[in-house]
Copies of this chain bind each other. A is one copy, B any other.
Amino acid sequence: MTGTASLITIVIAISVFGLLFAAWLARWVLRNSMGSEAMRKISNAIKQGAEAFLRRQNRTIMTLALLSAVLIFVGYGVLREHRSFDPVGSSFELAAWITLSFVLGAACSVFAGYVGMWISIRSNVRTAHAATSSLNRALRIALRGGAVSGLLVVGMSLLGVAGLYALVNAFSSIQESGDIPLLIVGYGFGASFVALFAQLGGGIYTKAADVGADLVGKVEAGIPEDDPRNPAVIADLVGDNVGDCAGRGADLFESTAAENIGAMILGASLALAADANGVPFSAGVVGVMMFPLIARAFGIIASIVGIVYVHMDKDEEMDPMTALNRGYYVAVVLAMAAFGGATYWLLHSEQAPNAWWHFFLCGIIGVLTSVAFVYITQYYTEYKYRPVKSIAEASETGPATNVIAGISVGMETTAVPVLVMGAAILGAYYIGDAAFANTAGVNGGLFGTAVATMGMLATAVFILAMDTFGPITDNAGGIVEMSQQPEEVRRKTDRLDAVGNTTKALTKGYAIGSAALAAFLLFQAYIDEVLQYAGGEEAGFFDLPVNLAKPVVFVGGLLGAMLVFLFSSLAIRAVGKVAQSVIGEVRRQYAGLPRVHDIIQFPDDFEPDYGTCVDLVTKSALRRMIVPGLLAVLGPVSVGLLFRIFITKGQPLIAAEGVAALLMVGTIAGILMALFLNNGGGAWDNAKKYIEAGAHGGKMITAADGTEMKNPVHAAAVVGDTVGDPFKDTAGPSLHVLVKLLSTITLVLAPLFL
């Protein structure tokens, strides 16, 4: 049962099962009623806007991806000379496989994002309608809608990697099966290439619409959130789908794909070393290499059980978050049991009988890390705790002190997660290292960190389902509000919406934690790969120390960190600029309305023109995603090529080393910046909610003369919340992708820097 064919068959079978289950869930969701005419009308407007944006976005992305595919093919096939230690016989074949896997990765990523959005814009109105009768039903529709996306993302990434593996195995001229991952690294790069643009474009769209709608609607016109009189409100609701659903879907698709391949590369290295040193794994090299895929496949099943299990209690009094948590714990426990089974099955060695449970422990470290991240994120972003309260308090002295406090909290939130990550990396490394403590020459440390990453990602399907739950419930709330449902229905969707905000924040913490572990894994894969392409030990290269003390390497690191700052700058600016044009458009639509004391008096027959706002945001967001996107792609490539061309005197691998530093320091800076932006933004958001819940005077206060007036403390908090919007939903999530893109792009292009 451990031959290549049977292992691949198991993985493919489970992936297909996951996809079929997704189809079943989708049918289950679609069978629910779409509600009243009014609801359907709003839902249709959202649907049209989201589909139009995604169509145009995909056209842009596919053009860029095809261009890159051509460049990759030319780079590998024409510019780079064949070397004797290449994994296949000719430059042309190498180029063909890498380009094929790139195109396939990109196509699958586009498809995964599209389907995620497709089901989400159909689940929202059904959730809204269900809320008119049963909260339990509404909860289940939203979660299962999200689960379709989650299953599709993880299933397809697995199917893609396993399928490509099978293809290469069957048709290429490859000599050693341990080299197969080198031919399919393009899959991860294709996926992250698409994910970067999807997350950037979607992220700019969603926050530009949100900021624009808020500033001119809530602040200037004084109408509530999601009010139908706001011309930007549909664009705002569309944004939730294209940013949070499609963007995050592509992001996690890419994570799972890249991490699977990275772990396979490390697994192959370890298994070969174990073979050579007399402690072979019982399941052979292929078994170890397949372990990540098998573990992931088991995780799919565990998550499915967890998702199906989620339900409210009979009288619907419980916190919906508790219902989700119960399902999550079911998934975690099952995933862990399956993980233990998989380690025993595939990572056991007769000669080193303790090895397998060392790796099992590494997996548990991964799970605990993800749990720790969830709690840390809660502490920093929920208003029960000190950080958010301090921001609310600082709002007493105006918007400036609110912003200062929020930035301070955001920067502070980097500390504990870094300590946890550091402990996890070192813990997994040294436990993995101890797996073969008695055998010199076999170091399981790096594979230990890879297994920890696998553990962290074991429940990715469930996490992704919870994440997509967020925009679905957010949209459902908007539909209920805009179709003017009774107060009691609104209260139900508000409860779901509040849970959705929490799950969205948690998954961001989870995503960044897994990005950190995964990045470390991908560095090692990169170094392994550089050494292989350089000829390895036969050519005299035993190791590639990434020595920061060398000027070229230090400058590479400096450039990597700079890339993170510049990229964040461009992403944040894009939101500001597009939001400014949204504000201009809304002001134009309001220009002719009568005013009393500068307050707009809406006529009863006022019909805003939603379409122009949707169109405006679509065009501007797509235009503004290009520069930061290309920066992320071309930055590392040009640094690598410049180093390669100008600095090689007596140091054959120096360009690869400089790029490695760019990758690693860029990753460190990216992780910290993402934590700062995500958590700072989340804390600002909840500081505002805390005041709205009544703290520091609430939204409205009574002036000395008895009139109701807006509370300036709340107004100050709104400023912070708005500043935080592009932080937490555009730049932050895009940085997750950037960090992984840096890894995959360097993995794919490494041979060109040698």
When chains A and B are docked, how far (Å) is the Cα of A590 from the Cα of B655? 65
Q: How far is the CB of A25 from chain B (nearest CB, A)?
A: 39
Indicate whether A579 sits within 8 Å of B412 (C-beta atoms), given known contacts A445-B551, A545-B549. Answer: no
Beta-carbon contact of B580 and A664 below 8 Å:
no
Beta-carbon contact of B401 and A566 below 8 Å:
no
Considering the complex, which residues of chain A in the window 645-671 have a beta carbon less than 8 Å from any beta carbon of chain B?
Answer: 647, 660-661, 664-665, 668-669, 671
Chain B neighbourhood of A568, CB < 8 A: 411
Beta-carbon contact of B551 and A215 below 8 Å:
no
Beta-carbon contact of A549 and B572 below 8 Å:
no
- A555 in complex: contacting residue of B404, B410, B426, CB < 8 Å: B426
Considering the complex, which residues of chain A in the window 569-626 have a beta carbon less than 8 Å from any beta carbon of chain B?
Answer: 569-570, 572-573, 575-576, 579-580, 583
Chain B neighbourhood of A422, CB < 8 A: 555, 558-559
Q: What string of 1s and 0s marks CB contacts (under 8 Å) between A519-532 and chain B? A: 01001100100000
Indicate whether A548 sits within 8 Å of B546 (C-beta atoms), given known contacts A418-B559, A422-B555. Answer: yes
Chain B neighbourhood of A405, CB < 8 A: 573, 576
If over half of A's interface residues share one DSSP class (helix, strand or loop), that class is named, otherwise mixed; here it is helix
When chains A and B are docked, how far (Å) is the Cα of A555 from the Cα of B520? 10
Q: What string of 1s and 0s marks CB contacts (under 8 Å) between A390-418 and chain B? A: 00001011111101110111111011001
Chain B neighbourhood of A209, CB < 8 A: none
When chains A and B are docked, how far (Å) is the Cα of A659 from the Cα of B408? 26
- A665 in complex: contacting residue of B523, B668, B719, CB < 8 Å: B668
Least CB separation from A575: chain B residue: B404
Number of interface residues of A (CB under 8 A): 77
- 10 extra A-B contacts, CB within 8 A, seeds A397-B580, A414-B562: A211-B400, A399-B400, A401-B576, A404-B573, A408-B569, A409-B569, A412-B565, A418-B562, A524-B549, A527-B549
Q: Chain A residues in contact with chain B, CB under 8 A?
A: 211, 215, 219, 394, 396-401, 403-405, 407-412, 414-415, 418-419, 421-422, 425-426, 429-430, 445, 449, 520, 523-524, 527, 544-549, 551-552, 554-555, 557-559, 561-562, 565-566, 568-570, 572-573, 575-576, 579-580, 583, 647, 660-661, 664-665, 668-669, 671-672, 676, 718-719, 722-723, 726
Q: Can you list 21 contacts pairing A with B, beta carbon distance less than 8 Å?
A: A211-B400, A397-B580, A400-B719, A404-B723, A405-B573, A407-B723, A408-B572, A408-B573, A411-B565, A412-B570, A422-B555, A422-B558, A430-B647, A524-B549, A527-B549, A545-B547, A548-B660, A554-B664, A561-B672, A668-B669, A719-B719
